Amino acid sequence: MSDDEVDYELLDLLRKSLGLGPPDPSAPPETKVLENAQFIYDNSIDVALDMHHTKAAAISILAQMKEREYSTKSWSAHALHPKAKDESTVNFIFTMDLLNFSFWSEKNEEERFSVKYGDESKSWTGYWSLVASLQRALDEDIPITTPTFWTDEEKCTEEVLRHVFRSDTEEEIPLLAERLQCLREAGEILEQEFDSSVLVLIEDAKGSAAGLVNLLADRFPCFRDEAIFERKKVRLLKRAQIFVADLWAAFDGEEFGKFNDMDKITMFADYRVPQMLHSLGCISYSPVLEKRIRGYGIIEPGHPWELQIRGCSIWAVELLRREILKLESDAKVNAVLLDFFLYDLAKEREKNGDEVIPHHRTRSIWY
């Protein structure tokens, strides 16, 4: 080879090392959520993490998870979650996570959107109001978890959806029109690309949790939870990731919930887990941001504050996971179980009336 000739093999290696050129099709799928969360944390000025409190929290969380024997089985143990290990549960989980966003209310517990289901003395709010609504609709023979139903504009109307999500109070479920839009869009994409089958969608991921997350984010706009932070596109993908996690938990890591790379799934950046991380001292806010949160002020979707809260929460749970594994290298703990546990803990403390910082208020379809 003369000095004037181009060494294309060397040039290709250089491009790959710099992250240039097309991605390697044979490389394992990566969601980039954790990588982007670290970028947000590294550039955050209004949200900080405290390693001293993180280490203390890791000790406490590990002890509590052991005491409660917390595992994937804890998911199915919830009264409202489906128990069957079949396609009906897959469809239920897909519908649930397609609509798993924005349940917070400015009203008090007696006036906010709530659903009575099962035990008539029990009123479900927040995320559980969604699950209760879906179970109630199925009991009423409304095929709310069937993708072909969503695309039928004569049967699946806004009026029908308003009935499915009817409240026991005067407040209706937030973003009802957006929920109908998500159902329509997802139904059409499933019909066009996956034979109207969520099972086909899962099969196309070839056993990869990250691959399934990427399929959802790439093919379904309503799962594409991305934003721009410091001029860089960042992926947070809360609902796409929680769909994979819920499958994994519902099927106890087997059948439709069997994935070879669950360690690539991060915490699901929402409202409650950041609130719990703040209570544990793992996360702190700048005075101006804390004032906004404590004053119940709205933070718009995509605002740097919102992205810092969400990104730093993902990174904080990752640091918690690492600290737990330092304490016990064979601990059966990943970011998914930590998220589930912290969410349940936040709801327990709320029920007990423990004083905590309010959750941040962002009205969005992403969480």
Q: So what's the pLDDT on residue 16? A: 63
Element (H, E) at 226: strand 226-229
pLDDT at 44: 98
Contact, 282 vs 53, CB < 8 A?
yes
Considering the candidates 97, 246, 270, 339, report the single residue annotated as catalytic.
270
Q: Report d(CA 202, CA 191) in Å as an integer.
A: 14
**pLDDT for residue 8:** 65
pLDDT confidence of residue 260: 96
Q: What is the pLDDT of residue 327?
A: 97
* Residue 16 CB-density burial (10 A; 0-12 exposed, 13-18 middle, 19+ buried): middle
> Is residue 197 included in any domain, yes or no?
no
Print the domain residue range for 343: 29-79+214-352
Q: 115 by DSSP, 3-state: which?
A: strand
Please name the residue that has the structure tokens 């489906």: 82
pLDDT (0 to 100) of residue 12? 66
Q: Using DSSP, state whether 352 is helix, strand or coil.
A: coil
Q: Is residue 152 part of a domain?
A: no
Distance CA 312, CA 48 (A): 8
Predicted pLDDT of residue 18:
64
Q: How far apart are the C-alpha atoms of 152 and 12, rounded to whole Å?
A: 49
pLDDT in tens, 218-249: 999 999 999 999 999 999 999 999 999 999 99
pLDDT at residue 351, rounded to an integer: 82
In a domain, 127, yes or no: no
Please name the residue that has the structure tokens 């240039």. 20
| Separation between Cα atoms, residue 273 and residue 335, nearest integer Å | 12
Q: What share of the chain is helix, strand, coil (3-state, %, to 5)?
A: 55, 5, 40
Q: What is the dihedral of CA 236, 242, 243, 247, to 10 degrees?
A: 150
- On whether residue 229 sits in a domain, the answer given is yes
Burial class (CB in 10 A: 0-12, 13-18, 19+), 259: buried
- Nearest to residue 318, comparing CAs of 30, 69, 127, 51? 51
Instruction: Check residue 29 and report its DSSP letter.
Output: P
Q: 16 in helix, strand or coil? A: helix
The number of domains in the chain is 1
Low-confidence ranges of the chain (pLDDT < 70): 1-6, 8, 11-25, 120
DSSP state of 363: -
- Is residue 50 assigned to a domain? yes
pLDDT at 27: 85
At 118 the pLDDT is 85
Task: Identify whether 312 is part of a domain.
Answer: yes
pLDDT tens digits along 302-320: 999 999 999 999 999 999 9
Q: What single-letter DSSP state applies at residue 114? A: -
The backbone torsions φ and ψ at residue 227, rounded to the nearest 5 degrees and listed phi first, read -155, 175
Q: Is 344 one of the annotated active-site residues of the chain?
A: no
Q: Give domain status of residue 130, yes or no.
A: no
Looking at residue 24, its pLDDT comes to 66
Structure tokens at 97: 């996570």
Q: Is residue 190 part of a domain?
A: no
Angstrom distance (rounded) from CA 202 to CA 257: 9
Residue 94's nearest CA partner among 4, 2, 223, 281 is: 223
Distance CA 300, CA 228 (A): 13
Q: DSSP string of 174-224?
A: TTHHHHHHHHHHHHHHHHHHSTT-HHHHHHHTTT-HHHHHHHHHHH-GGG-
CA 227 distance to own-chain centroid:
15
